[in-house]
Amino acid sequence: MLNISQNQLNKKISLQAFKSYQKAFSPKNSKMFNRLLIIFSIIILIVLFLPWTQNVSGRGYVTTLTPDQRPQTIQSPIPGRIEKWYVMEGDYVHKGDTILHISEIKNEYQDPNLVARTNVQKEAKSRAVVSYQEKVKALEGQIVALQNERQLKLTQAKNKLEQSKFKVVSDSMDLVALKNNYDIVERQYNRTQTLQSEGLKAMTDVEEKRVKLQEAQAKLIALENKLLTSKNDVINARIEISRISAEYADKIAKSQSDKFTAESNQYDAQAQVSKLENQSTNYEIRNNLSYIRAPQNGYITKALKGGIGETFKEGEQIVGIMPANYQLAVETYITPIDLPLLHIDDEVRIQFDGWPAIFFSGWPNTSYGTYAGHIVAIESFISANGKYRVLVAPNNDSNAWPERLSVGSGAYTFSLLEDVPIWFEIWRRLNGFPPNYYQPEQTDKTKDKK
């Protein structure tokens, strides 16, 4: 009561007569309360100096240790239409088992004889390559024949040139001899004419010498004409050599041009053969892709595309599969301020959702229902949730993880750090300080060895 009234009841009424007052203000109860308070204070003081294991907590879920053991979806590398399912959800499949059959929806791949027709085209082009090869060989033989013929023709023309030169020399010598004979006949005629004028020779002798002179002159003119003809033959022989060289050079050049054209066509045909072989192989592989098969042993979890006749795009998810053999791990996330505190092989205590546990974060040895693990990977790039991803694997030296544990269930992790007094932990938390930075013992031993 506030005693705001003028009537003071405590002076009119004695409180000592009430049992509650007697029990509350009894000297005996006061001594007992003081003793309990002293004992409780001593216990709290002792507890403040007990060891406390610092830890970094994180929230995550159960996953697998390696990426190939995690749940996955099967995609089709080609667009298609569902024709038939061979499995049901929950079925166990072996690697290579057929899950479903799809059909083509693109017009250019719907021909059932596409591979056979492509092989026929490839065979035709291969024969064209052989034909071009034979044509190249024939043209090479033709070029060799033309070169040999040109050599023979040039040899023949050169021989004719030499003959013409020799004939010019022969005619020149005959012309010189005939000129000498003409000079002799001319001197005889002049001398006979002189003697006839003196009366020493008859006119008949003069006329006879004149006839011989004219005959010698006629022979000289004929021989000069023959010499000019021989010189003309030399010129013609040289012209023939030039003509033969030009003619066969043109023929050989044309044959070489045809050869190069045939080789170009041959290489083009070979390129088309390679392209058709590539297309044929791609078509065969695409035909095999019409059957979606299991990539590994596992269980069919969920059909993302159902029904018959439903179409889907290239790379679209069709069905989910869970590998049969896997090693469990925990994927947990920590805040950036706690990242420098964690190291590879650090010990971690894990509490799984669905498994009852009594956990004291500061006294992990007194906890019940938690399981041991160790850090195997720490991601160095922050995740989309603003935290860093840490992968925890089972500790083989401790209790095995539950057999019924499934991938995707929740997990709560505690990474164990240094042991400190409880009062220090309370002081740290009140001030918002992070746990103590430390280095694992293995790191210290490595430094000592260095």
Q: How far is CA 49 from CA 41, 384, 449, in A?
A: 13, 41, 35
pLDDT of residue 188: 78
The number of beta carbons lying within 10 Å of the beta carbon of residue 249 is 12
pLDDT at 93 over 90: yes
Distance between CA atoms of residues 8 and 15, nearest Å: 13
Architecture of domain 114-288: Orthogonal Bundle (1.10)
Q: What is the amino acid identity at position 171?
A: D
Per-residue pLDDT of 34-66, as tens digits, reads 788 888 888 888 877 777 666 778 889 999 888
Most confident of the following: 61-70, 338-347, 396-405 = 61-70
For 44, the token pair is: 């709290």
Q: Which one, of 230, 228, 213, 229, lies nearest residue 178 by Cα?
A: 213
- State percent of the chain over pLDDT 90: 15
Please tell me the CATH code under which domain 72-104+290-323 is placed: 2.40.50.100
pLDDT of residue 29: 59
- Side-chain-side CA neighbours of residue 436 (13 Å): 15
Q: How confident is the model at residue 419 (pLDDT cuts 50, 70, 90)?
A: low
pLDDT of residue 22: 64
Per-residue pLDDT of 229-281, as tens digits, reads 888 888 888 898 888 889 889 989 998 999 899 999 989 999 999 998 998 89
Distance between CA atoms of residues 38 and 205, nearest Å: 191
Q: How far is CA 411 from CA 71, 357, 378, 436, 446, in A?
A: 18, 12, 17, 25, 33
Can you give the residue ranges of every domain in the chain?
Answer: 1-48, 53-69+326-449, 72-104+290-323, 114-288
Whether the CA torsion 357, 359, 363, 364 is positive or negative: it is positive
Mean pLDDT for 113-129 is 89
Give me the chain's average pLDDT, please. 82
Per-residue pLDDT of 284-326, as tens digits, reads 888 888 899 999 999 998 888 878 888 888 888 999 998 888 8
Tell me how long the chain is.
450
Mean pLDDT for 71-97 is 90
pLDDT at 5 over 80: no
pLDDT at 340 over 60: yes
CATH fold for the domain made of 53-69+326-449:
Elongation Factor Tu (Ef-tu); domain 3 (2.40.30)
Per-residue pLDDT of 369-387, as tens digits, reads 688 889 999 988 888 888 9
